Structure 1
Amino acid sequence: MKTVAAASEDVFEGVKISGIRTKEELTTALLSIVPGDLTVNDVVFFCVGTDRSTGDSLGPFVGTYLNGLGYGNVIGTIDDPVHAMNMTEKIALLPAGKTVIAIDASLGAAPSVGSLSVYNGSIKPGAGVNKSDLPYVGDYSVSGVVNVCGYQELLVLQNTRLTVVIKMAKDITSALIEVFPLVPTPPTAPASGTLRSAAKEVFA
């Protein structure tokens, strides 16, 4: 793996809500942007990043958490990440007609570290590490500022504190399962309330 794919904090297309610090704020922001009639069956979660860089593992952690909660509509996990070297291949896997929710790490100013942003539009992976040839992705997007930009970005990503990334990944996952709760298939699946209650315990 020669490079990673963190986004730049300000490289996006669409309306942006930034400075989000809690899962409750993130849930509110998502609900204000995502159409109310959009359900989990309408979306695909496209979680960008790599397991080879701590800072850039935000997206894969979210994808892994969602998978573990029973979400099958996920592309990008710790075991099977979406990164700069396979981005085009993974984008080709996106089902036609589905709304894409993109999740990615970003670099930004020091006061922004640990904050989240929601976009009514797409983000551009790789811009934060000068990988400018990757396409914009996502109809709606969530980005987390994991560390500072401006100097040796690849090294900065690789030395990002895992505790920061894990907290942000849990907050993003918690918000996503609130906005897009699973719809169980009777009779084998548990009730949606059971799924959501269990999830809340994990991501509390």
Structure 2
Amino acid sequence: MNRKDKFSKNEHRFQSDDPFMCEQLSDCLYEVLPVERNVIIVCIGTDRSTGDALGPLVGSMLRDQAMQSFHIYGTLEEPVHALNLSETMQSIQRLHPKPTILAIDACLGKKASIGSVVFGRGALTPGAALNKNLPAVGDYHISGLVNVGGFMEYVVLQNTRLHLVMNMAAKIAASLRLTEAKRMNERFKNQPYQNFLAATKKQQ
């Protein structure tokens, strides 16, 4: 659970109730995530708190799909949270040399921003909303603003509407599935050319 009171110029902001949100977020993801490399998606949060369940919900929704260009860490069954975040990141570094990481987490912010989904470059800081000192995560990030920050954060998270969190998670997961389809289509188009180059080199 991170904290967001301001939005930078490098971030794209979407409304989860916008019917075009999935396509718009997917376009942004496809534009910046390297097609030729698999991307590690770290879905941060816990199923023990409604407000902090956004990440694990997205992870479970994606894990149920046949994702080829994305590796998913963090689900409702196996969440990535404060107690195992450092260990998980170390494992990712061992298993995926020089990984490109997309971090997904819920966040608290201003009342007017509730329901917003933010995508941008750079890491997010899990636990910031709860004053926890955790390592920053991600080359890119997606944050879903689920409730108001600034007071009694633990109580606020426990009283966040599940409908809001489920809707945001479904939209984010759908955006990533669209992005996966675009990435695999681009790889398929490039494959004949790559095979031709490989065959040419063997003949030389």
Q: TM-score, normalised by structure 1?
A: 0.78
Q: Which residue of 1 aligns with 2:191?
A: none
Query: By how many angstroms is 1:69 displaced?
Result: 1.1
Q: Would you say the 8 A contact 1:20–1:26 is kept in 2?
A: no
In the alignment, residue 143 of structure 2 is paired with which amino acid? S
| Count of aligned pairs | 178
Alpha-carbon distance change, 11 to 57 in structure 1, aligned in 2, over 3 angstroms = farther
Q: Name the one with the larger helix percent.
A: 2
In the alignment, residue 75 of structure 1 is paired with which amino acid? Y
Q: Would you say the 8 A contact 1:19–1:117 is kept in 2?
A: yes
Q: Distance in 1 between matches of 2:33 and 2:85?
A: 29
Alpha-carbon distance change, 11 to 52 in structure 1, aligned in 2, over 3 angstroms = farther
Alpha-carbon distance change, 159 to 141 in structure 1, aligned in 2, over 3 angstroms = same
Greater shift in the superposed pair: 21-30 or 139-148: 21-30
Q: Which residue of 1 aligns with 2:201?
A: none
1:39-73, Cα deviation, whole Å (9 max, x unpaired): 38510110000011010000000000000112371
1:121-170, Cα deviation, whole Å (9 max, x unpaired): 11111111111x21111111100001111110011101111100000000
1:60 aligns with 2:56: yes
In the alignment, residue 4 of structure 2 is paired with which amino acid? E
In the alignment, residue 155 of structure 2 is paired with which amino acid? L
1:1-204 map, 5 Å: 6-10=1-5, 15-21=10-16, 22=18, 24-32=20-28, 34-35=30-31, 38-39=34-35, 42-71=38-67, 73-94=71-92, 95-131=96-132, 133-181=133-181, 183=184
Q: Describe the SS at the equivalent of 2:101.
A: strand
Q: Distance in 2 between matches of 1:79 and 1:32?
A: 29
Query: By how many angstroms is 1:20 displaced?
Result: 3.2
Q: Distance in 1 between matches of 2:128 and 2:184?
A: 36
Q: TM-score, normalised by structure 2?
A: 0.78
Alpha-carbon distance change, 20 to 80 in structure 1, aligned in 2, over 3 angstroms = same
Identical columns (%)? 38
Q: Would you say the 8 A contact 1:125–1:135 is kept in 2?
A: yes
Q: Describe the SS at the equivalent of 2:126.
A: coil
Q: Distance in 2 between matches of 1:41 and 1:141?
A: 17
Query: By how many angstroms is 1:85 displaced?
Result: 1.0
Query: By how many angstroms is 1:82 displaced?
Result: 0.6
Q: Distance in 1 between matches of 2:174 and 2:33?
A: 20
Gaps of 5+ in 1: 1-5, 185-204
Gaps of 5+ in 2: 186-204
